Structure 1
Amino acid sequence: MLWRSWVAWQGVRMTAQAALRAALREVVGPAARGEGFSGSAPTWRMTNALGDWAVVSVQTSRYSTASSLHCVLNTAVAPAPWLAWQQQSLGSLPQAVPESLGLYRRRLHPTGTPAARDGWWEITGDDDARTAATDMVTQLATDGWPILRQLLHREAMLDQIRCGDLGFLQADHSPAYFARAEALLLAELGPSLQLDQALTTATQNTAPTHQNQDRAFADWVRARTTR
């Protein structure tokens, strides 16, 4: 607040980026900490005893200028088994889990955004930034914090996978992806018929060029049941 007052006293117009940073720090940050998330703008995280992560992050458009920017809220949950497989596939992971590595990923839009439209907040100055940050807190209170906390419970995440809804991805378009996700979580519970069924769905009817990858995935998952 002191820096914002100094800027106003000097008569200097804040850039859109500076206005957003201040609003996130003063409005969204306290709300995130109140919900048990830690971090600082533009990203806040929560973890559980199993090493699963929930992430909230504000993304700004690459086409932003000093006088105008657009931003949107991205939320994610990344279970530890999913992150372990990502590390196996990618070789390494960032020290802090980014939203992009979530298994469940969902975008939150400004109030009033029509369904199926990718609406973003527009920031041109301090007033816009504070209005947007306040609306972000409203969206998070309804469709952010409660869902993220719920999905940090493994059974709830399994139910979400079996319902065919992982936010950006739907099971109708990616059945093998959902089967892999289910297999990763089931493996933590040990060998089971459900796990065998999930692995069969995850690896059947794939292109010949993917068969080696599918076999490696199935072997890796089964190995985790004996840990």
Structure 2
Amino acid sequence: MTAQEALKVALRNVLGPNARSHGYKGSAPTWRKSNASGDWAVVNVQSSSWSTAERLRCVVNLAVAPEPWLRWQRERLGAGMPKSVTEYLGLYRERLHPAEAPAGTDGWWEVRDAESAVSAATDIVAQLEHAWWPVLDRLLTPGGMLQQVGNGDLGYMKRPNHGVFFARAGALLRMDQGPSDALEADLQTALDFCMPEEKENAEQFDAWVREQARRGAS
């Protein structure tokens, strides 16, 4: 049995049932969950491209993509928009590492055989149960993602280093409620602090969001 086969079996037998118990659908390496608003949460087990049949390294990617964010991605990407929501389309993105990995390091699970594959899958489930299923569920609840943006935490991205991105995220999550002072503040921040080479894109974003807001108010 190759390392890839061992991981696939372990994910099917260990992570799959756990994900389904929390309302996720799919099969290794990706499970998804959506709500009535069209928001999506994604759990993806990524294998390293440098893996071999004898040794495989993997990590877990988590993502949540709210419907307004996906709507903007479709506008931006056009025909290049994937048919299924992938983890890299998430507005919120985070990564899980082995429990024994030092904090702040990009540790990956190593799979060599069935035993190490089950150990990796078991650790993944333990971490999801302990902390991450509740986080993903909270971000799928009404207002959950907007609160997360307000907290300045989108997983990899933190507001101190990505102010314009957070302003845009806030605008997208508010636009369907119609024009407001908060929406105006987000849009103004996104325009005022964008890089000069991004000005045209920022103006296109601004116009699109304002149009969505007008529709939301009608």
**1:1-227 equivalences in 2 (<5 Å):** 14-92=1-79, 93-227=81-215
Aligned length: 214
Secondary structure of residue in 2 paired with 1:50: coil
C-alpha distance in structure 2 between counterparts of 1:209 and 1:22, whole Å: 48
Unpaired runs of 5+ residues, structure 1, are 1-13
Larger CA Rg, structure 1 vs 2: 1
Q: CA deviation at 1:206?
A: 2.6
Instruction: Give identity over the alignment, percent.
Output: 51
C-alpha distance in structure 1 between counterparts of 2:6 and 2:197, whole Å: 50
Q: Please tell me whether the aligned partners of residues 77 and 104 of structure 1 are also in contact (alpha carbons under 8 angstroms).
A: yes
Kindly provide the CA deviation profile for residues 64-89 of structure 1, in whole angstroms up to 9, marking residues without a partner as x.
Answer: 00000000111000001101111111
TM-score normalised per structure 2: 0.96
C-alpha distance in structure 1 between counterparts of 2:181 and 2:98, whole Å: 44
Kindly provide the CA deviation profile for residues 12-59 of structure 1, in whole angstroms up to 9, marking residues without a partner as x.
Answer: xx1000000000000000000001100011000000011000000000
| Residue type at the aligned position of 1:176 | V
Secondary structure of residue in 2 paired with 1:188: helix
- Runs (4 or more) in structure 1 with deviation over 3 Å come to none
Q: Please tell me whether the aligned partners of residues 45 and 53 of structure 1 are also in contact (alpha carbons under 8 angstroms).
A: yes
More helix by proportion, 1 or 2?
A: 2
C-alpha distance in structure 1 between counterparts of 2:11 and 2:134, whole Å: 20
Q: CA deviation at 1:207?
A: 3.1
Q: Please tell me whether the aligned partners of residues 15 and 121 of structure 2 are also in contact (alpha carbons under 8 angstroms).
A: yes
C-alpha distance in structure 2 between counterparts of 1:211 and 1:61, whole Å: 36
C-alpha distance in structure 2 between counterparts of 1:210 and 1:23, whole Å: 45
Kindly provide the CA deviation profile for residues 103-134 of structure 1, in whole angstroms up to 9, marking residues without a partner as x.
Answer: 00000111122111111100000000011101
| Residue type at the aligned position of 2:9 | A
Q: Please tell me whether the aligned partners of residues 164 and 193 of structure 2 are also in contact (alpha carbons under 8 angstroms).
A: no
